């Protein structure tokens, strides 16, 4: 069942009419131009071609559906990351209408909802089904929890009315799209006056050129069968995980971990089993995407300023702004 408040936010992507979309059986129907949009498992599907560049993320977040969801995995890593990267405080989030642009399995959508926000979680891939399963799971829901509604759509052609959201965030997504600047420009018009924007992204860094094994593998792995890629990641992690755990415990050599061809950030909050699986996931996440387009935070700040946003701030990997008109 589609939430009535989500229907109020939607508009036809074909004619962009003001008339609300109606429900006709298992489809949404535009009364103006007659366009129909399938609703599958309660989620409007505005993506006609499921075999897109984000297909691998759908497989990834189905495979590791609950690992990064605090409430289901017994840690607070996603909440801490969300609050730090957005710079929004808990009190402000209550009752706000927020767009999660590129939700994946819903690690941040679930955090925002737990803190009392109403969240539209949107993803291009089949990961939207993993997000729904996670956010609907009743385990550990807060009594003051907000709501989540789901939407499968392209961030460059969102079927959403402009000027309606209190906040928009796009985290872990921008670098994996074919046109990051276009994605960053597409989201601010959805904000109402005073609405807040938060982006994170991979920062352009000269050290990346020394990660020769990772980027050598990336020349071929995005086109591999997912099971074959998973087998490679599991094999590398099995051999190198003990080495990276040892390196992470020695401050003088800790920085060298980034040059090991597995993604091995070690979190003390995780059990050894969770940490191992998280490392497999992050290594897969390194080698799976079709695109990895890093940004310069100064250029991101310039882009947001040129769009007329105010209170623009940026630092490596992060940017914030406010829409004032």
Residue 49 lies in a domain: yes
Q: Are residues 148 and 178 in the same domain?
A: yes
- pLDDT, position 50: 59
Q: Write out 97-125 in H/E/C secondary structure.
A: EEEEECCCCCHHHHHHHHCCCEEEEEECC
Same domain, 59 and 151: yes
Q: Which residues pair with 123 in a beta bridge?
A: 152
Separation CA 159–CA 201 (nearest Å)? 24
Does residue 146 belong to any structural domain of this protein?
yes
Q: Are residues 111 and 144 in the same domain?
A: yes
Contact 181, 303 (CB under 8 A): yes
Q: How many CB atoms lie within 10 A of CB 12?
A: 22
Check: CB of residue 208 under 8 Å from CB of residue 266.
Answer: no
Question: Would you state the pLDDT for residue 63?
Answer: 98
Helix (H, G, I), strand (E, B) or coil at 77: helix
> Do both 169 and 300 map to the same domain?
yes
Same domain, 167 and 186: yes
Residues 172, 145 share a domain = yes
Report the pLDDT value the prediction gives residue 302, as an integer from 0 to 100: 98
Note whether 176 and 311 are same-domain residues: yes
Handedness of CA 74, 80, 81, 83 (dihedral sign): positive
- 94 and 231 in a single domain? The answer is no
Q: Which two tokens stand for residue 297?
A: 């935070």
For the chain, 325 residues long, give each residue's pLDDT as a single digit of tens: 788 999 999 999 999 988 889 999 999 999 999 999 999 999 999 997 656 789 999 999 999 999 999 999 999 999 999 999 999 999 999 999 999 999 999 999 999 999 999 999 999 999 999 999 999 999 999 999 999 999 999 999 999 999 999 999 999 999 999 999 999 999 999 999 999 999 999 999 988 887 888 999 999 999 999 999 999 999 999 999 999 888 877 887 777 877 889 998 888 899 999 999 999 999 999 999 999 999 999 999 999 999 999 999 999 999 999 999 7
Cα 44 from Cα 13, distance rounded (Å): 12
CATH of the domain at 114: 3.40.50.150
- Is residue 24 situated within a structural domain? no
Structural domain span for residue 139: 43-203+296-322
Residue 188 makes CB contacts below 8 A (sequence gap 6+) with 168, 197, 304, 307, 309, 321, 323
Burial zone of 204 (CB within 10 Å; 0-12 exposed, 13-18 middle, 19+ buried) = middle
Pick the closest to residue 297 from 153, 213, 180 (CA basis): 180
Q: Are residues 242 and 134 in the same domain?
A: no
Rounded Cα distance between 311 and 314, Å, is 10
User: Is position 15 within any domain?
Assistant: no
Q: Give the residue from 233, 120, 108, 124 showing the smallest Cα distance to 176.
A: 124
Q: Are residues 220 and 243 in the same domain?
A: yes
Note whether residue 36 is domain-resident. no
51 within some domain: yes
* Number of independent structural domains in the chain: 2
Q: Is the dihedral of CA 214, 216, 217, 221 positive or negative?
A: positive
**Same domain? 280 vs 300:** no
166 and 88 fall within a common domain: yes
37, 185, 199 from 302: Cα distances, Å: 37, 12, 14
* pTM score, whole prediction: 0.95
Calpha distance 90→17 (Å, rounded): 36
Gap between the Cα atoms of 229 and 306, Å rounded: 41
Q: Is 13 helix (H, G, I), strand (E, B) or coil?
A: coil
């Amino acid at each position: 069942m589609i939430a009535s408040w989500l229907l109020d936010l939607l508009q036809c992507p074909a004619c962009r009419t003001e008339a609300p979309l109606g429900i006709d059986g298992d489809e949404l129907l535009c009364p103006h131009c007659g366009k129909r949009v399938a609703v599958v498992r309660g989620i409007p599907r505005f993506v006609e071609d499921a075999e897109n560049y984000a297909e691998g993320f759908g497989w990834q977040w189905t495979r590791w559906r609950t690992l990064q969801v605090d409430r289901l995995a017994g840690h607070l890593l996603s909440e801490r990351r969300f609050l730090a990267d957005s710079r929004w405080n808990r009190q402000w989030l209550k009752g706000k209408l927020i767009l999660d642009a590129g939700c994946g399995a819903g690690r941040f959508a679930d955090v925002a909802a737990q803190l009392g926000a109403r969240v539209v979680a949107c993803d291009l891939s089949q990961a939207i089904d993993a997000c729904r399963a996670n956010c609907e799971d009743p385990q550990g829901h807060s009594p003051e929890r907000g709501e989540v509604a789901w939407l499968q759509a392209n961030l460059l052609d969102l079927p959403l009315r402009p000027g309606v959201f209190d906040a928009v965030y796009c985290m872990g997504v921008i670098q994996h799209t074919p046109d990051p600047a276009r994605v960053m420009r597409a989201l601010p018009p959805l904000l109402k006056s005073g609405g807040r924007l938060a982006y994170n992204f991979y920062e352009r860094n000269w050290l990346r050129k020394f990660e020769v094994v990772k980027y050598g593998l990336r020349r071929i792995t995005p086109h591999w069968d997912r099971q074959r890629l998973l087998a490679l990641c599991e094999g590398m992690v099995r051999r190198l995980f003990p080495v990276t755990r040892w390196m992470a415990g020695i401050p003088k050599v800790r920085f060298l971990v980034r040059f090991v061809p597995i993604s091995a950030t070690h979190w003390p909050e995780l059990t050894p089993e969770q940490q191992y699986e998280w490392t497999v996931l992050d290594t897969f996440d390194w080698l799976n995407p079709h695109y990895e387009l890093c940004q310069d935070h100064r250029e991101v700040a310039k882009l947001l300023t040129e769009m007329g946003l105010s209170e623009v701030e940026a630092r490596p990997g992060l940017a914030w702004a406010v829409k004032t008109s």
